[in-house]
Chains A and B, each alone.
Chain A
Amino acid sequence: MSSAAPRVGFFVTCLVDLMRPSVGFAAVKLLEEAGCQVEVPAEQTCCGQPAYNSGDRADAIALAKQVIAAFEGFDYVVLPSGSCAGMIREHYPRLFAGDAAWEGRARKLAERTHELTAFLVDVLGVTGVTAKLAATVTYHDACSGLREMGVKTQPRRLLASVDGLTLKESAMAETCCGFGGTFCIKYPEISERMVDTKADDLIATGADMVLAGDMGCLLNIAGRLKRKGSAMQARHVAEVLAGSLDAPAIGEPGRTS
């Protein structure tokens, strides 16, 4: 049996690695429960997106090569982030367009790279989870996941199977939260307006908690909710799906371990 288990290279992403490892463990739990053999290559750091989006092609290429080398031996590469997954799937092949040595390798990796919830539903055919959460939640569609990776129905399908959970959609679920990587610190005033609009839209749902599939957006949204004095909690969708709710929600007080 174990020889048939898909070998998944788990790319934890830098924000989950540094800010919220509990999300990484929740994701691993979901993958293992779905029958995957999960490995975490030590040679991973960052997918290179900050460099790429800042116009720094040289560093983006160097980091992309590092990722390709670290992950090309796996059946699949799975990330708890639509944005980093989009970087590998949509942008690596473009970065190496015309490079005979690397283009093929980049393409092959791209084809096997998936965002976590989309992987569970679309590739593994998971239809539900065993987690419980008595709460009303709302879901923010992170931009790259939504538009580059087609993540929209998959997390909602899985959330629908969470015992006790009610999903209340917000009017602007698909509107950018204003994070945008370095954008939020390069243009703080514009980012502030965007995240404020987002926070108001989320609060208007009356939900107890906002979920999303990307740590960048979540840090931004949680930070603004807290600044506004809102009681709404923010969590990565993987935590809820895995039933890993021991760690305090993002930005909430309390020690993790």
Chain B
Amino acid sequence: MDATSHRFRDNARHALANGRLKESLASFTKTFPEKRQKVIDRLPEFDALRDEGVRIKNHVLANLDFYLERFEAKATAAGAQIHWCRDAAEARETVLSICRAAGARTVTKSKSMIGEEIAINEFLESNGVRPVETDLGEYIIQVRGESPSHILVPAIHLKGPDIAQTFREKHTALPPGRALDEPEAILREARTVLRGEFLAADVGLTGANMLVAETGSIVVVTNEGNADLVMSLPKVHVAVASLEKVVPTLEDAATILRLLARSATGQDITAYTTFATGPKRPGDPDGPDEFHIVLLDNGRTAMLGGEFRDMLRCIRCGACLNHCPVYAGIGGHAYGWVYSGPMGSVLTPSLLGAHQADDLPNASTFCGKCEQVCPMRIPLPTMMRHLRERQFTTGGPAAKGRGALKVWAFFARRPALYRRATALAIGALAFLGGGRGRFRRLPLTSAWTGPRDLPAPQGRTFQALWAERRRRKP
């Protein structure tokens, strides 16, 4: 997908004007946090589990080369083929050449954010290979020509009638008078259409939630079971995963799975959790003849050495999106790229590069809810602040109010002058207020007074009144 993160402000304005989106977001950002809370309340050791998850990931990040090499050795021994790719372009070429070698015309896909990150669909399509999304939400947005608005629930911005209409327009071979009012009917129709695609596909393309170094396995979780068909029906399976997905052992993978499902969807465990190790062996009833694993860096090792390293602990659970009041207002598309919400506000600038997503880390109130719910205890606000600090010197929205901030700081650093200046200014402002108690409009304050009244100051500063009180009774 083409990033529009640099147009964040326009995107956000557009999103805020969309009444349907407001409804979808309101119900989604209520139900998901509730579900999560319920399932966590049932698990008293959840916080200890978080600590363990953080420990595992920190350990991996400190020994990333070791575990990646071990993973490669184990996966290769099991018959998988490993492809190391530095960036998105290399990964795309690698996937395409595997498809070409297999003579592939159709590729089935299960939901993969790394697939979105490298824009694999557009690339395959333009090279004559037809990708078909098989996760219901991804399928819906694929036929609509949209991008996901949530890393877990890609079509969360849509409502039933939107989807029904899309299906009527796209599935022209089906009877036009059919009923599509119920979600079940939509699901049934998608299933019917996709069944043929599953069987016709030459290559199956998945991401991976984890790579297990101990066994050389990839782990893929879904709630629809579609990934299992994508992995086992075609003769070739390609999994694309970024480097930080590796974990040392199966035990570690189990720990993270327990965190993931609870944080993501409020489930104890996802409906389908699949460990895939190597291609089909002699005697296996099914499985692909070839199993390729693309290990993609795409900016990860650059993050490893710097102040955004903690971000590499992210397991893409989406909890920070589900709980973010800014996301709840504008939805995922406004962020302009595959990753949205607080995690996107840190990842997108890191991965897309300087000045491609400058608004994102600024568009946060630092309310701290994301860090509170992140199973990996990623200090998201702290990292957004680091990004602002960078902008303050190199330019960007954080530097925009720089002049005013410097003037204010000039006074704030000189307490006696500050006291005199503020007493005058506040007195003048209170005078303008004229006892009405608030302003509906005031020159130079339109950003404040656009949406809300400005309460008028009481008239004297505390410092001035306190000095008087001290003179009266020292």
**A55 and B329 within 8 A (CB):** no
**A42 and B415 within 8 A (CB):** yes
Which single residue of chain B is at the shortest CB-CB distance from A86?
Answer: B368
Which single residue of chain A is at the shortest CB-CB distance from B381?
Answer: A53
How far, in whole Å, are A190 and B451 apart by their CA atoms in the complex?
10
Stretch at the interface among A103-111, A130-138, A140-148: A140-148
Chain A positions 145-192 with a Cβ under 8 Å from a chain B Cβ: 147-148, 174-176, 178-192
Contact with B along A214-235 (1 / 0, CB 8 A): 0000011011101100000000
B461 within 8 A of A: yes
Q: Give the shortest distance, in Å, between B364 (CB) and chain A (any CB).
A: 7
In the complex where A52-B385, A56-B392 touch, is A18 in contact with B451 (Cβ < 8 A)? no
In the complex where A185-B447, A189-B12, A227-B451 touch, is A180 in contact with B463 (Cβ < 8 A)? no
Stretch at the interface among A58-66, A71-79, A121-129: A58-66
**A21 and B412 within 8 A (CB):** no
Q: Give the shortest distance, in Å, between B357 (CB) and chain A (any CB).
A: 15
Chain A positions 241-257 with a Cβ under 8 Å from a chain B Cβ: 247-248, 250-257
**B367 and A180 within 8 A (CB):** yes
A206 within 8 A of B: no
**B415 and A187 within 8 A (CB):** no
Q: Is the interface of A mostly helix, strand, loop or mixed?
A: helix
**A56 and B455 within 8 A (CB):** no
Residues of B within 8 A of A251 (CB): 437-438, 453, 455-456
B411 within 8 A of A: yes
Among A20, A45, A250, the one with the most B-chain Cβ atoms within 10 Å of its Cβ is A45
In the complex where A17-B462, A189-B16 touch, is A66 in contact with B415 (Cβ < 8 A)? yes
A194 within 8 A of B: yes
B13 within 8 A of A: yes
Chain B positions 288-305 with a Cβ under 8 Å from a chain A Cβ: none
In the complex where A186-B362, A196-B451 touch, is A40 in contact with B466 (Cβ < 8 A)? yes
**A50 and B405 within 8 A (CB):** yes
Stretch at the interface among B67-75, B124-132, B418-426: B418-426
Contact with A along B434-474 (1 / 0, CB 8 A): 01111010000001101111111111111101110000000
Residues of B within 8 A of A14 (CB): 412
Q: Give the shortest distance, in Å, between B408 (CB) and chain A (any CB).
A: 7
Q: Which of A43, A63, A148, A186 contacts B397 (CB 8 A)?
A: A186
In the complex where A54-B398, A185-B448, A188-B450 touch, is A175 in contact with B368 (Cβ < 8 A)? no
**B437 and A252 within 8 A (CB):** yes
How far, in whole Å, are A140 and B363 apart by their CA atoms in the complex?
22
A203 within 8 A of B: no
B365 within 8 A of A: yes
Q: Give the shortest distance, in Å, between B272 (CB) and chain A (any CB).
A: 33
Residues of B within 8 A of A18 (CB): 422, 426, 457, 461-462
Residues of A within 8 A of B455 (CB): 19, 219, 222-223, 226, 250-251
Q: Give the shortest distance, in Å, between B278 (CB) and chain A (any CB).
A: 46
Using a CB–CB distance below 8 Å, which chain B residues touch chain A?
Answer: 9, 12-13, 16, 325-326, 328-330, 362-369, 371-372, 385, 387-392, 397-402, 405-406, 408-409, 411-413, 415-416, 418-419, 422, 426, 435-438, 440, 447-448, 450-463, 465-467
Contacts A222-B453, A248-B437 aside, 16 further interface pairs with beta carbons under 8 A come to A18-B457, A21-B462, A53-B366, A54-B405, A57-B389, A59-B406, A62-B409, A66-B415, A147-B368, A147-B369, A148-B368, A176-B369, A181-B366, A187-B9, A189-B12, A251-B456
Using a CB–CB distance below 8 Å, which chain A residues touch chain B?
Answer: 12, 14, 16-22, 24-25, 40, 42-46, 48, 50-57, 59, 62-63, 66, 143-144, 147-148, 174-176, 178-197, 219-220, 222-224, 226-227, 247-248, 250-257
> Mind listing 7 A-B residue pairs with CB under 8 Å?
A17-B463, A176-B325, A176-B365, A180-B365, A186-B400, A192-B451, A197-B329
Top-8 shortest CB links A-B: A180-B365, A223-B452, A55-B388, A192-B451, A55-B392, A176-B367, A21-B462, A251-B455
